[in-house]
A and B are shown apart, each in its own frame.
Chain A
Amino acid sequence: DAGVTQSPTHLIKTRGQQVTLRCSPISGHKSVSWYQQVLGQGPQFIFQYYEKEERGRGNFPDRFSARQFPNYSSELNVNALLLGDSALYLCASSLEGGAWLEAFFGQGTRLTVV
């Protein structure tokens, strides 16, 4: 079975631009979470979606938004990019909603803002 897949793997954007990152969860998993990992730090929680509804939101500005589709795939959108948004963006899938369940990560999208 395929694991969590993310696209694109690498991306370079200019300050002020907008970006959309995509994630497909493990087959049978209904929940997707997004994390931002800055070099040298642990991942920071951005959003969790379950059954197309937002179930959790981390301490990120409104420039960050996400959605989940009927096939459980998800998109993370970041508007008005700042240099500080440069990071590895990780998607994790789990069977259902709730952080008490095991979560499995995709390979990540490396975003560089110049």
Chain B
Amino acid sequence: QKEVEQNSGPLSVPEGAIASLNCTYSDRVSQSFFWYRQYSGKSPELIMSIYSNGDKEDGRFTAQLNKASQYVSLLIRDSQPSDSATYLCAVDQYNNAGNMLTFGGGTRLMVKP
């Protein structure tokens, strides 16, 4: 079973701090990695995609990818209470049935004012 693992949390950080969210994956051939944000009762919203080793920055968000360690992370700088949500890591995987996007269970982030 190819897996995507995340710490379920909750991860609690004070307002203005850096939140660090981590994800590991088991399929070495995966090439595409995504972070989604999901507010309670809502659908997932794509916030970052990353395909190459290293860092990718978009506003307050930075995605980091290390394919050798099979590790992808999301940093949120200057965390705001509105960032409180569940963050889902997703990885493209291949099996006999085709190419699919596999999600981790999500990390719940709580930003305290």
Report which A residues bind B (CB closer than 8 A): 33, 35, 40-45, 48, 54-58, 88, 90, 92, 97-108
Specify which of B46, B93, B97 lies most central, judged by the most chain A CB atoms within 10 Å of its CB: B97
Chain B contact residues: helix, strand, loop or mixed: strand
1/0 per residue B69-113: CB within 8 Å of A?
000000000000000000010101100011111111110000000
Contacts of A40 in B (CB 8 A): 105
B97 near A57 with CB under 8 A, answer: yes
B26-40, CB under 8 A of A: which get 1 and which 0? Answer: 000001101010000
Q: Does B42 contact A (CB under 8 A)?
A: yes
Q: Are A105 and B43 in contact (CB under 8 A)?
A: yes
Chain B residues, Cβ within 8 Å of A45: 100-102
Of the four ranges (under 10, 10 to 19, 20 to 34, 35 or more), the interface on chain B belongs to: 20 to 34
Partner of A48, one of B44, B45, B90, B100: B100
A104 x B46 contact (CB < 8 A): yes
State whether B88 touches A56 (Cβ < 8 A). no
Question: What A residues does B88 contact at CB under 8 A?
Answer: 42-43
Specify which of B4, B49, B100, B103 lies most central, judged by the most chain A CB atoms within 10 Å of its CB.
Answer: B100
Q: Which residues of A are found within 8 Å of B103, using beta-carbon distances?
A: 35, 42-44
